């Protein structure tokens, strides 16, 4: 049974994959095998480690619809987005368009460009959502790039990245996606969505390790980004270390400046392969169905669901029916009863994944329905 591959289910009702997804047995065992290998043999098998890097690029490419040559392995989503913000050759007067729903990783890099004379424009959301038409209305002749989150981190709004990508392609604008809240749980096809750049760490919906992110750069846009980190791995060194050539690698690997997180890469590759084996379409249908039923149950007991309808992601954001108990009190009491979720931007954020089941949702509803207050949770 798939659920048995996630030991967290024996300990908790874990509804927090939007923060950190739990490791599956295959992912944990892959990391443990690597650790044992380094423990027992040092770097003797370093060539096999490098082959695992290639296998991760291959699996990640299958997951998002790209090619292995378009995948770099970075530390996190923030690094990938920063590489785009700092690596593009901006001209004073250019502008970049984002939204008012973004996590800081997809906000601060663009706002920081004001010192280079680049304007950041924000599409304003309505009821926690925005439309592709709203994005297009912001584009003008000086727009260089549109950047959005695939799924809003706090309320679960899912952007129509295919429609936005079509607009960007038609208007001659680059398209960047912060995909950390979508990749691993929602179908993602960078070619169909005409994505120029995409970043997603492995530790959320992929259920891999922290510090092993995928960074996609479409091959036709590879030359548009300056390399921001120069080290010993992103050049064609021709086997030399001293006075080596400084020709960038011809693939997205040019963005990998130094040694990589080998343990995390082993775990994340195994995690992705498990998702691919189950099937992302299957996972997406199951999770969205579970999240939809959860939202309906929450509303039935008086909670206000802030996630835009219809629900199209794995995130359900909700507000308690009364001021007291406070949001943080609800969060604490749920945690004391083995239910793990997260407070975000005035909501309790629940994030079920493929290992969750309806019976767990029933249990959460029972806890919330019992009226609040410390005594009700004992």
For residues 288 and 311, is the Cβ–Cβ distance under 8 A? yes
- Fold topology of 25-278: 3.40.640
| Residues paired with 199 in a beta bridge | 178, 215
* Structure confidence by residue, pLDDT tens digits, 271-329: 999 999 999 999 999 999 999 999 999 999 999 999 999 999 999 999 999 988 999 99
Q: What angle do CA 257, 250, 192 make, to 5 degrees?
A: 100
Work out the number of other CB atoms within 10 angstroms of the CB of residue 67: 17
Residue 371: per-residue pLDDT:
58
Residue 81, pLDDT > 60, answer yes
Q: Could you tell me how far CA 75 lies from the centroid of its own chain? A: 13
Strand partners, 339: 13
pLDDT tops 50 at residue 345 = yes
59 pLDDT more than 80 = yes
Q: Is 2-22+280-377 a domain of CATH 3.90.1150.10? A: yes
Burial 112-139 (b: 16+ CB within 10 A, else e): ebeeeebebbbbebeebbbebebbbebb
Decide: 129 and 157 in contact? Cβ < 8 Å: yes
DSSP 350: E
Cα–Cα distance for residue pair 227/376, rounded to 1 Å: 56
Q: Domain ranges for the chain, please list them.
A: 2-22+280-377, 25-278
Query: Helix 327-336 and helix 358-369: axis angle, to 10°?
Result: 130
Distance separating alpha carbons of residues 260 and 107, to the nearest angstrom: 26
Q: In which band, very low, low, confident or very high, does the pLDDT at 90 lie, cut at 50, 70 and 90?
A: very high
Can you tell me the mean pLDDT for 18-35? 98
Cβ contact 180:201 at 8 Å: yes
pTM: 0.96
């Amino acid at each position: 049974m798939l659920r048995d591959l996630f030991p967290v289910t024996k300990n908790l009702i874990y509804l927090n994959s939007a923060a950190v997804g739990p490791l599956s047995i295959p992912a944990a065992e892959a990391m443990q095998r690597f650790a044992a290998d380094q423990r027992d043999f040092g770097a003797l098998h370093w060539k096999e480690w490098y082959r695992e890097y290639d296998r991760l690029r291959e699996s990640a490419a299958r997951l998002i619809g790209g090619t292995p040559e378009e995948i770099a392995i970075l530390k996190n989503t923030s690094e990938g987005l920063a590489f785009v913000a700092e690596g593009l050759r901006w001209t004073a007067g250019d502008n970049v368009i984002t939204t008012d729903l973004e996590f800081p990783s997809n906000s601060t890099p663009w706002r920081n460009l004001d010192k280079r004379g680049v304007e950041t424009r924000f599409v304003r959301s309505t009821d926690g959502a925005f439309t592709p038409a709203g994005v297009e209305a912001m584009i003008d002749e000086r727009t260089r790039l549109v950047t959005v989150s695939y799924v809003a981190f706090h309320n679960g709004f899912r952007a129509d990245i295919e429609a936005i990508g079509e607009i960007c392609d038609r208007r001659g604008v680059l398209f960047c996606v912060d995909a950390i809240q979508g990749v691993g749980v929602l179908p993602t096809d960078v070619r169909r969505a005409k994505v120029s750049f995409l970043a997603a760490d492995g530790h959320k919906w992929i259920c891999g390790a922290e510090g092993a992110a995928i960074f996609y750069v479409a091959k036709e846009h590879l030359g548009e980004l300056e390399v921001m980190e120069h080290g010993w791995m992103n050049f064609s060194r021709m086997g030399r270390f001293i006075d080596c050539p400084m020709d960038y690698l011809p693939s997205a690997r040019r963005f990998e400046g130094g040694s990589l997180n080998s343990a995390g890469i082993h775990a994340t590759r195994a995690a992705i392969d498990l998702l691919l084996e189950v099937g992302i379409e299957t996972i997406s249908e199951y999770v969205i169905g579970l999240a939809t039923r959860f939202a309906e149950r929450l509303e039935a007991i008086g909670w206000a669901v802030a996630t835009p309808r219809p629900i199209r992601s794995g995130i359900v954001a909700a507000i308690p029916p009364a001021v007291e108990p406070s949001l943080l009190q609800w969060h604490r009491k749920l945690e004391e009863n083995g239910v793990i979720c997260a407070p975000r931007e005035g909501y309790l954020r629940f994030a079920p994944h493929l290992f969750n089941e309806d019976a767990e949702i029933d249990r959460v509803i029972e806890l919330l329905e019992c009226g609040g207050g410390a005594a009700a949770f004992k």
